[in-house]
Amino acid sequence: MSRTRAVVICLLLLVLAAAHVLSQENCPQLSVPQIIPGTNMFNAQQEVWLGNAEAASVEQSLTIIDEPQLTAYLQQMVDGLAQSLGSTQLQFRVKIYDAPTGQAFSLAGGRIYVSRKLIALTRNEDEVAGILAHEMGHSVAHHEAIARSESFRKVLGLKEVSDQADVTARWNELVSNYRRMKAGSYEKAVAMEEREQVQADAIALYLVARAGYSPQSFFDIFDRTAQTKSNIGGFWSNLFGRSSPDSRRLARIIKDTPAMLKTCINTRTENATVYDRWKTGVIEYPGLSATHQESLPGLVSKRVLTERLRPEVQRIRISPDGKYVLAQDDGNVFVLEREPLTSIFHFEAHDAGSAQFTPDSRGIVLLFDDVRASPRVERWDIASQKRAEVHEVYVRDGCLLSKVAPDGKTLTCLTREFDSAGFMKFNLDLYDVATATSFVHKKGWVDIDLAKMLRFGGWQELPEFLAAGQKLLEALSPMAFSCDAHYFVAHSRQNTLAFDLFSRNKMDLPGNIKGLLDYSFTFLANGNLIGVAGGNGEKSEVVEFPSGRVIYKDLNIGGSRLEAVAQGDHVLLRPIKDHPVGIFDLKQNKIVVASKRSAITVWDDSYIAERLDGELQVFDIPSFKPVERAQLPDAPLGNVHASAISPDLTWLAISQKTRGAVWNLQTGQRLYHVRGFSAAYFSPDGGLYADFPQVSFHGTHSGPRCFEQRRHAPGARHR
């Protein structure tokens, strides 16, 4: 290469470099809100220390998904988004946590937390970047540090903090004195929240645009999570305050989307396959107990309990083909063969609702439906003994009541809202589980006139309506899926809905079927429908669905609620007099079995129930004689409702929802096996005090009963 040519090339490179620098200088600069002097007592390093202290407290109540590969994907995105911030002392660290709602939040110093439910809602990497960038925006604007500065001043009387130990100590002191925090003006708090959200949005839009992500995706994920449905409000609605804060915020997002030169955008490699694989890994993450080895640093001694606490089985089901039996307790699902009754496998299912077999008997469908949470639907394959599908259905404020079809493809969700006229409205939706989209929306499915209720002295009922418990909602709006997942029927005082789920069409029902929907109804295994009718349930009927042809009439059901059995001319009644459940023979028009065990199901002339010792037993209905039994395998303990340990570490008491036990920790021996208690305490003199709620067969607590049990030697006495 000649010297002249080399000089020309060097000059060209210098020109290109200068042009790149010039173009970068022409890039729009990030506008960070100015901090009002005196509102933030933390410097940059102290803010990081504050975030560390906050994280230590917050993570005690969070289930962190501690999977490095899943977290690394998000951390890499955060690091890329932070490049356009230049030098900053913020330490952006992101973690994924498990929660029943779609949420993300940030702590001081750059700590970011994103729930698995929110990740499940995203559709591409750009939307994930928008969520992260928004939380980064809160950190860049120092919103958390400013808020904590105000708390330190008002609650602790502080004007400044010093080193890391001081910041941590002051934070812990604030947590200990949180009750002293006085609520300020609601209007002021709303205005501040809206202002901070807009500031975080503006920063986020800048970060995603500079990093090469789509600002439109930021809009899309906000539109779905806020459920504004692209409604940004108009001039008049904004002027008179009729558009929601979310709508106004959405309009601001669109307005503030920056026009970014191509030379200002960082290059990145987009890989949809990697995103899909990562998202699937987050959704299907099995949980702490399934993947983590026991880690107990500083362990001094360990005692294995010789007799475990066997949780009470809450539900028993038989598959449509009669081949399998399903037993479910608070934390596990067990699958057994029916003939002979032998265990096959089990899996953990903490906080799951009622499990059911799919119509083809090949799988099990689970619904995780915490109140006011977005539902999660899982399908397990029996042949492979593995989870086959997981779907998160995002509902912004969660479902108050939800049910899933036996095939796991359709979900019904009841939500609530209030209007300015004093009405409490419950809305009904049918969701396609696979796409998490609503294809039927019934606004005002149930209307409660609160003002009228108060005018006519309904003060006592008001708290129950506001609490909107499951029993109340099931009474306000009974609903059922057919066993083959073909039909859905729901009813309220104002509305009736019958829907063909296969064709996605509404159905007209004959009058006699509508007359069976007021109180309790269910589909039977053969496709017929049974409903309670008459003043005392004496006019109840079984009818062919959807024709309405009467099969059995004038059934004396009484005031019980109905539950279908696996096969045969029987139905379960819950509760009956002096018992939680009874087996009703449709042909004989009478109760033929009254069971003390709540978990029970029927197949022709036999039924399966749980014994007190935890075994499942098959009984012959005509003779009431046991036929065979099977022991369920040991499984992890479900949710603990109460626990206590003696001061000398000798005695341990643990209770689940329905069963409790007391162990000698020196020997590991179980001394007492009792029904569930809600609280317990070991006194220094060796006494155990336990609170046993008095339960009626109608499923309500008629008041607590306290017992004292003293343990001095082999014997015990009660008071």
Per-residue model confidence (pLDDT) at position 266: 77
Per-residue model confidence (pLDDT) at position 258: 64
Which of 221, 253, 283 is the last residue in one of the domains? Answer: 283
Q: Is residue 600 part of a domain?
A: no
Per-residue model confidence (pLDDT) at position 247: 56
Query: For strand 111-115 and strand 93-98, is the pairing parallel, antiparallel, or unpaired?
Result: parallel
Q: Is residue 657 part of a domain?
A: yes
Q: Is residue 249 part of a domain?
A: yes
Per-residue model confidence (pLDDT) at position 714: 32
pLDDT per position as a tens digit, 536-593: 999 999 999 999 999 999 999 998 999 999 999 999 999 998 899 999 999 999 999 9
For residue 696, is pLDDT > 70? no
Is the distance from CB of 708 to CB of 653 less than 8 angstroms? no
Per-residue model confidence (pLDDT) at position 311: 81
Which of 237, 257, 283 is the last residue in one of the domains? Answer: 283
Q: Is residue 646 part of a domain?
A: yes
What DSSP line would sit under 468-533, residue for residue?
T-HHHHHHHS-EEE-TTS-EEEEE-SS-EEEEETTTTEE----HHHHTT-SS-EEE-TTS-EEE--
CB neighbour list of residue 49: distance below 8 Å, 6 or more residues apart? 109, 164, 167, 168
For residue 466, is pLDDT > 70? no
Task: With CA atoms as reference, report the closest residue to 73 among 119, 110, 22.
Answer: 119
- How high does pLDDT run on average in the chain? 84
Q: Is residue 521 part of a domain?
A: no
Q: Is residue 589 part of a domain?
A: no
CB neighbour list of residue 519: distance below 8 Å, 6 or more residues apart? 475, 478, 531, 532, 533, 537, 559
Q: φ and ψ at 198, to 5 degrees?
A: -65, -40
Which of 283, 318, 341 is the last residue in one of the domains? Answer: 283
Sign of the dihedral defined by the CA atoms of residues 336, 342, 348, 352, in that order:
positive
Q: Is residue 195 part of a domain?
A: yes
pLDDT per position as a tens digit, 297-351: 677 778 888 777 878 899 999 999 999 999 999 889 999 999 999 999 999 888 8
pLDDT per position as a tens digit, 56-76: 999 988 889 989 999 999 999
Per-residue model confidence (pLDDT) at position 572: 97
For residue 261, is pLDDT > 60? yes
pLDDT per position as a tens digit, 201-246: 889 989 998 999 988 888 888 877 775 443 333 333 233 333 345 6
Sign of the dihedral defined by the CA atoms of residues 524, 528, 531, 534, in that order:
negative
Q: Is residue 121 part of a domain?
A: yes
* Residues, the chain: 719
Task: With CA atoms as reference, report the closest residue to 311 among 603, 634, 680.
Answer: 634
475-496 CB burial, b ≥16 within 10 A, e <16:
ebbbbbbbbbbbbbbbbbeeee
For residue 515, is pLDDT > 80? yes
Mean pLDDT value across residues 70-89: 92
- Alpha carbons 258 and 225: distance in angstroms, whole number: 22
Q: Which domain holds residue 687?
A: 642-718
Is the distance from CB of 673 to CB of 661 less than 8 angstroms? yes
Per-residue model confidence (pLDDT) at position 12: 43
**Could you give the number of structural domains in the chain?**
2
- Label residue 180 by pLDDT band (50, 70, 90): low
Per-residue model confidence (pLDDT) at position 28: 80
